[in-house]
A and B are shown apart, each in its own frame.
Chain A
Amino acid sequence: MPMRMPDPDQDVLSRRAEIIAALRRIVPGEGVIAEEEELRAYECDGLTAYRQLPMIVVLPETTAQVSEILKYCHGGGIKIVPRGAGTSLSGGALPLEDGITLGLGKFNRILDIDYDNRCVTAQPGVTNLAITTAVAGDGFYYAPDPSSQIACSIGGNVAENSGGVHCLKYGLTANNLLGVEMVLMDGEVVRLGGKHLDSGGYDLLGIVTGSEGLLGVITEVTVRILRSPSTARALLIGFPSSESAGDCVAAIIGAGIIPGGMEMMDRPAIHAAEAFVNAGYPMDAEALLIVELDGPAVEVDELIGRVETIARENGAQSVRVSTNEDERNNFWAGRKAAFPAVGRISPDYYCMDGTIPRHRLSEVLTRMTELSGQYGLRVANVFHAGDGNLHPLILYDANTPGELEKAEEFGADILKLCVEVGGVLTGEHGVGVEKRDLMGEMFTEIDLDQQQRVKCAFDPTQQLNPGKVFPTLHRCAELGRVHIRSGQTRFPDIPRF
């Protein structure tokens, strides 16, 4: 699958042997990978449709080494692609032919658990789940929980501003991040934030979160941990239409209830999941809602009752309430296995990630069904219903010539539809290379230029992860130019320069 990337620098490619030697001086031992066989493992991330062998892979172990590598590459005009666990679904870690993939996998230690300040400091290669595991015994957890939490790294979570099923109530990574240590492209090490709240100056930590590895290489992360809720219970609610399910979601929030999780599945997703895990989902439902309430037991019990009433008022066909942990986990089992379940009924699937204003849901689903007919490809929907984040899974067969391209076109149409109804291209998976060329659907040239100037503020030579996020790469000098139009009349008494 071709994807337009920056032209490889022939000069850099011709210096490959010399670059390898220099990297080996910085990272001794087996930390520099140059054999094709071994490079193969790094040719793609979670977006497997795009592959590119990196020029070299380097796996440093210390911040000092990262700094040395970047300093060396900065001087030598060599591009860097940072990589966490490689689980990105948008191609954020897609290598460059003339670039060094800098893997943070060896940064895998938790450095500090600080209960008094309710935070954990970890190296970026530590997995999301490992942070929760480290503090769970003491009754704490880290709230953002992307589906890939067993594998994805906390550094990658920062780069992508990852979400998860709990983010309506507990926020995305950005809302749970306190500080980072990060290395800039010129090798300078900076600390943003710490164990305190907010920034005294510009919120650089905020802009770095979700910057997709274009601003710096993160070498340390401090996140807030929360006390685990004492109880969690879930409702499994079947509806005769996605419209009534959508109305129910609106009514729950309208009643002042913010559930810990609120997930919706459409009929194809329900059937695929049920066939896979036998969770006891209602097979006659057109839409299924899982609503989880967490907090003190007395609160959860009362809210369960309120949600059940609201569900029945909104036309629920079936309502089941979990009475123990096994049952609750069982409700979730189908939802959590939705992607592999769909993988069983189709050779391949392509996962989309748009967000829409919730009240446009049934309209979007209707138009998606039309598009599905038009493209001749089936689609199953799972949906973070509370925050409007849709994950349509387009089913296709990569072995059928032209079908991947068709799936991608279908996907692009879905995302354009999301933008058209007032939503956005990506809710939590990131732009990467995947949605890069769709950015113009949401932003004007002026909007994108302003975003790129932020990139230039951190990396004026544009060597960090180029070719991601922005559809057109402008040189920083060009972006920095000030365009002044003459004809001003408001400031007549001011001498002009």
Chain B
Amino acid sequence: MAEKFTPGTAEETRAIVADALAAETPLAIEGGGTRQLIGRPLETQYSLSTSALAGVSLYEPEELVLRAGPGTPMSQIRMQLDQHGQMLAFEPPDYGPLIGADADTGTLGGIIAGNLAGPRRIKAGAARDHFLGVDAVSGRGELFKSGGRVVKNVTGYDLCKLLAGSWGTLGVMTDITVKVLPAPEKTRTVLVACEEPSEAVAAMTAALSSPHDVSAAAWLPRTVAAQSSVSYVAGAGTPLAALRVEGIGTSVDARCASLRDELAAFGNVEELHSHNSMAFWEEIRDVRAFADDGGDTSLWRISVPPADAARLLDRLHTGIEMEAFMDWGGGLIWARVARMEDAGSYVIRRTMGAAGGHATLIRGNLHQRIREPVFHPEPAPVARLTRNIKEAFDPKGILNPGRMYAGV
């Protein structure tokens, strides 16, 4: 890549994009640079980095709001929130090591642009649900804003929803406002030995349908559990379903006790306490078991109706050689596929079929990312809307063209 622009202000960002538009020159948009490895490869001579659009410009803990530049490192945001006992409730993950980049290099802009979320997605929502307001430069070289700094707002179209998960193809964000929430006082995890995915889904469904306010539900096969840094999990020697309970101390104690009773029918029950519980869910959040180890495996993130997860896993195992675990009560499957020409794309998408959901190739080699649809193919009328939306924001294809879909 020949040249990188690193604007320090929104106006500079706008001027660069406007110039690129005039020259009809596409730009690769990057934050910390790590997420650039996800998506279809770009062939651009120029890039625009948001790394200098950084810093927290507003944080009012009692108003539950934080505003920062997109280039602000997540580590900095986490630190500031920690000081006030608050958090980004959607549990932003760190996919760096998954895709061969360093850990802890992610930025707020990258998290929002990918609409990423961790295990608490099932309770608290994804990045999109906490994204209150934005300033951004469109591919038209215009600086626009949407949303605001208050949590309740239906004034005009919520363009934040489109920018979240658009992977830099619709606008370059220059300022981001997010909702923050109090961090739980205590966290505990109930572990249940569940051999089969179907039993695990049943146990997770029971837990998530209980009044015990379970904030995360995952299942690890034996091989994945064995890699955990939490000794009890690694040494359990059995596949495990894990249910997290958070909140104030007395409540956590009471709910854990009830959950243990109610889940005992599914298998042996154990409990992880504060530090172990936190470490365990960080591993799930960041998908550490499937970090890039230099081998030629590919990695899929598959979102499905939770009750379909076990059936889907069974079918996928008969079609391709892979290892997988479930998060989101079954609603999210992480699958590491052994070396295959198409990364398993054909079998995965065909098996998902009409049941609904989407599969994204998070890690694949260059050949796979060029040849296979990295993002889930859309039915024709939806694909037409997608193209129209791209046209509305970036008619000349200046911003990350083709990163999600060819021609978008």
A interface residues (Cβ-Cβ under 8 A, vs B): 114-118, 139-140, 160-161, 163, 167-168, 171-172, 174-175, 184, 188-192, 194-204, 206-207, 209-211, 227-230, 250-251, 253-254, 256-258, 295-296, 298-299, 302-303, 355-359, 384, 387-389, 422-431, 435, 439, 442-444, 446-448, 450-451, 453-458, 460, 469, 480, 482-491, 494, 496-497
Ordered nearest first, which 9 A-B pairs have the shortest CB separation?
A200-B358, A206-B161, A299-B251, A256-B182, A200-B376, A457-B388, A194-B356, A195-B305, A453-B392
Residues of A contacting B304 with CB < 8 Å?
Answer: 196
Q: Is the CB of B150 within 8 A of A387?
A: yes
The answer to whether A469 touches B5, judged by C-beta atoms less than 8 angstroms apart, is no
Partner of B23, one of A427, A442, A488: A488
Q: Could you say which of A198, A356, A482, A486 contacts B165, with CB atoms under 8 Å apart? A: A198
Find out whether the CB atom of B358 lies under 8 angstroms from the CB atom of A491: no
B210, CB-defined interface residue at 8 Å: yes
Whether A451 touches B159, Cβ cut-off 8 Å, given contacts A117-B306, A388-B151, A496-B23, is yes
Contacts of B152 in A (CB 8 A): 163, 167, 172, 355, 384, 387-389, 427-428
Quote the shortest CB–CB distance from A362 to chain B (angstroms): 14
Given A175-B125, A457-B388, A139–B376 Cβ distance below 8 Å? Answer: no
Q: B190-238: which have CB < 8 Å to A?
A: 205, 208-213
Which of A139, A427, A480, A490 counts the most B-chain CB atoms under 10 A from its CB?
A490
Say whether A359 contacts B62, CB under 8 Å.
Answer: yes
Q: Judging by beta carbons under 8 Å apart, are A207 and B157 in contact? A: yes
Residues of B within 8 A of A456 (CB): 388, 392
Q: Do residues A443 and B248 form an inter-chain contact, with CB atoms below 8 A?
A: no
Q: A443-B145, A454-B162 are in contact. Are A302 and B63 (CB under 8 A)?
A: no
Q: Which of B20, B181, B356, B378 contacts A195 (CB 8 A)?
A: B356
Does B104 count as interface, using CB distance less than 8 angstroms? no
Are A454 and B165 in contact, with the CB atoms below 8 A?
no
10 A–B pairs (Cβ distance < 8 Å), ordered by A: A117-B306, A197-B121, A201-B404, A422-B149, A431-B155, A447-B146, A454-B159, A456-B388, A458-B388, A491-B19
How far is the CB of B181 from the nearest CB of chain A, in Å? 7
- Residues of B within 8 Å of A191, CB to CB, are 379, 382
Q: B162–A201 contact, CB under 8 A? A: no
The answer, among B140, B154, B170, for a CB contact under 8 Å with A482, is B140
Known: A359-B63, A429-B154, A457-B392. A196 touches B162 (CB 8 A): no
Docked Cα-Cα span, A188 to B16, in Å, equals 39
User: Could you mark each residue 281-292 of chain B with 1 if its beta carbon is under 8 Å from any beta carbon of chain A, else 0?
Assistant: 000000000000
The residues of A that contact B149 with a CB separation of less than 8 Å are 357, 422
B126 contacts which chain A residues (CB < 8 A)? 197-198
A443 touches B156 (CB 8 A): yes
- The CA of A422 and the CA of B117, in the complex, are separated in Å by 28
Report Cα–Cα, A1/B255, bound state, in Å.
Answer: 57
Q: Residue A174 contacts which of B129, B148, B209, B389 (CB distance < 8 angstroms)? A: B129
Q: How far is the CB of B243 from chain A (nearest CB, A)?
A: 14
Cβ A211 vs Cβ B157 within 8 A: yes
Residues 155-178 (chain B) with a chain A CB within 8 angstroms: 155-159, 161-162, 164-166, 170
Task: Identify which of B19, B63, B332, B359 contacts A488 (C-beta below 8 A).
Answer: B19
The reply to whether A442 and B155 form a contact with Cβ atoms under 8 Å apart is yes
Q: Is the CB of A485 within 8 A of B18?
A: yes
* A168→B382 contact, CB < 8 A: no
Asked if A171 and B358 sit within 8 Å, CB to CB, the answer is: no
Given contacts A258-B181, A387-B150, A494-B24, contact A202 B162 (CB under 8 A): yes
* Those of B124-144 within 8 Å (CB) of chain A: 125-126, 128-129, 138, 140-144
Contact of B61 with A254 in the complex, beta carbons under 8 Å: yes
Q: Is the CB of A431 within 8 A of B182?
A: no
**CB of B406 closer than 8 Å to a CB of A:** no
Name the residue on A nearest B5 (C-beta).
A490
Determine if B64 is an interface residue (Cβ-Cβ < 8 Å).
yes
Contact status B307-A114, CB under 8 Å: yes
CB nearest neighbor in A for B162: A207
Give complex CA distance A84, B61 in Å.
Answer: 38
Contacts A389-B152, A450-B138 known; 10 new A-B pairs at CB < 8 A: A160-B154, A190-B379, A196-B305, A198-B303, A201-B405, A250-B63, A427-B154, A454-B159, A457-B392, A490-B5
Contact A357 B157 (CB under 8 A): no
Which of the listed residues A118, A172, A389 has the most CB atoms from chain B within 10 Å of its own CB?
Answer: A118
Closest Cβ of chain A to B47, distance in Å, is: 12
Across the interface, do A451 and B19 meet the contact criterion of CB distance under 8 Å?
A: no
A190-B381, A196-B358 known; A302-B251 Cβ under 8 A: yes
Report B-chain residues with C-beta under 8 Å of the C-beta of A160.
Answer: 154
Contact of B85 with A by CB under 8 A: yes
Tell me whether A454 and B121 are in contact (CB under 8 A). Answer: no
The answer on a CB contact under 8 Å between B125 and A296 is no
Whether the Cβ atoms of A299 and B208 lie closer than 8 Å is no
B381, A117: Cβ atoms closer than 8 Å: no
- Given A202-B165, A202-B389, A480-B395, answer yes or no on A425-B303 (Cβ-Cβ < 8 Å): no
CB distance from A313 to the nearest CB of B (A): 15
Q: Are B144 and A184 in contact (CB under 8 A)?
A: no
By CB atoms of chain B within 10 A, which of A199, A209, A295 has the most?
A199
Given A253-B64, A254-B61, A454-B162, does the pair A302, B250 have CB atoms closer than 8 Å?
A: yes
Which among B18, B150, B255, B381 is the interface contact of A424 at CB below 8 angstroms?
B150
Question: In angstroms, how far is the closest chain B Cβ from the Cβ of A310?
Answer: 12
Q: Is B103 an interface residue (CB 8 A)?
A: no
**Contact at A425–B151, with CB atoms within 8 Å?**
no
A74: min CB distance to chain B, Å: 14
- Output the residue of B165, B181, B304, B305 with the most chain A CB within 10 A: B305
Interchain CB contact under 8 A, B396 and A482: yes
Q: Bound complex: CA of A256 vs CA of B181, how far in Å?
A: 8
